[in-house]
Copies of this chain bind each other. A is one copy, B any other.
Amino acid sequence: MKKLINDVSNILTESLDGFVAAHGDIIALGDGHMFVRRKVLKPGKTALLSGGGSGHEPLHAGFVGHGMLDAACPGQVFTSPTPDQMIAAVGAVDTGGGVLFIVKNYEGDVMNFDMAREMAGRDIETVITDDDVAVENSLYTTGRRGVAGTLVVEKVVGAAAEQGADLKALKRLGDKVNRATRSMGVALTSCTVPAAGKPTFDIGPAEMEMGVGIHGEPGRRRVALRSADEIAGEMVAAIAGDLGSKGNALLFVNGFGGTPAMELYLMYNAARAHLARHGITPVRSLVGSYVTSLDMAGCSITVTLLDDEIARGWDAPVHTPALRWGL
């Protein structure tokens, strides 16, 4: 295993120490490395809290700041954060407007966020994201997985929270953005979890995993390497077919960590051509490695159908370590 680390058991805390040192103008670290929170809170604003296993950076801690999340709870690599982390984060960021949890649909995450909601004794709602069209049930999920579309939910709901929407309205909006969003991924290589020390799955030099999950879970099937155009075509067909609507959209091409920007933009180019054939027009774009799987090579395509409310939320100012515009 080749990684820039010291001791496998300290990766998360050392990385968080670096993260807060680099972005101390935006974020602060909770006691015991339990959560990352927005440095300056806005009293009375409904707080947005997310979290999940580490290894998907910049998701979620990279999206804490103005116009997006108020706190994020990082678990160990690919491991759910614990309810006590969430309860501590809720206590730190709830300034009276209640808290919205944004949770990717994995059994451990959903269970722990549910437990935290019951134990916290506060006004809390939960939006569960399940944008991955690849498979219906998976290694760690009942129902679909929540993947890169979670970023879009956090961004749009974060904008509305910043503008003063209340908990009930934010819950409605979060569910709506999730319903308007679909994703699918492809892996060319496996990731390597540091504590395991070896690749999560075996894959041949001429194979790829269509529909892979962000932890390296199996997708739809293992196939021979194909061209970017064919890969994008299959992913877009699955996404567009499942959306079942045409119109203007956000097209988000997300790298899994080991894929160069050149290839991501080439995939963006292929995806937009296929979307046009399905009557979907990308009018907003995001290209980069934002919801990663450690060092996995590959990418996902996410499409969110836009109405005025969602487009406004996407365009609104944001100031976080990993997404920043308009401020």
Contact = CB atoms under 8 A, between A and B. Distances in A.
Given A262-B54, A269-B21, A6 B292 contact: no
B285 A6 contact: no
A228 B263 contact: no
Contacts of A11: 262, 266
B265 A18 contact: yes
Interface stretch (A125-133, A147-155, A293-301): A293-301
Contacts of A285: 21-23
Contacts of A295: 258-260, 297
Q: How large is the interface on A (under 10, 10 to 19, 20 to 34, 35 or more residues)?
A: 35 or more
A115 interface: no
Question: Of residues A62, A231, A258, A267, which shows the largest number of chain B Cβ atoms within 10 Å of its Cβ?
Answer: A258
Contact of A269 (B17, B77, B229, B265): B17
Interface in A1-40: 2-7, 11-12, 14-19, 21-23
B261 A258 contact: no
Interface of A is mostly: mixed
A265 B267 CA distance: 28
B270 A15 contact: no
Interface in A41-96: 54-55, 57-58, 62, 77
Contacts of A266: 4-6, 11, 14-15, 18
Question: Of residues A15, A205, A287, A297, which shows the largest number of chain B Cβ atoms within 10 Å of its Cβ?
Answer: A15
Contacts of A19: 265, 268, 287
Q: Which 9 pairs between the two chains have the least Cβ-Cβ distance?
A: A18-B269, A18-B265, A57-B261, A18-B268, A22-B285, A4-B263, A2-B188, A15-B266, A15-B265
30 contacts: A2-B189, A2-B205, A2-B297, A3-B263, A4-B259, A4-B266, A4-B298, A4-B299, A5-B263, A6-B266, A6-B270, A11-B266, A14-B270, A18-B266, A18-B267, A19-B268, A21-B282, A21-B285, A22-B251, A22-B268, A22-B285, A55-B262, A57-B261, A57-B262, A58-B261, A257-B258, A260-B295, A289-B289, A324-B325, A325-B327
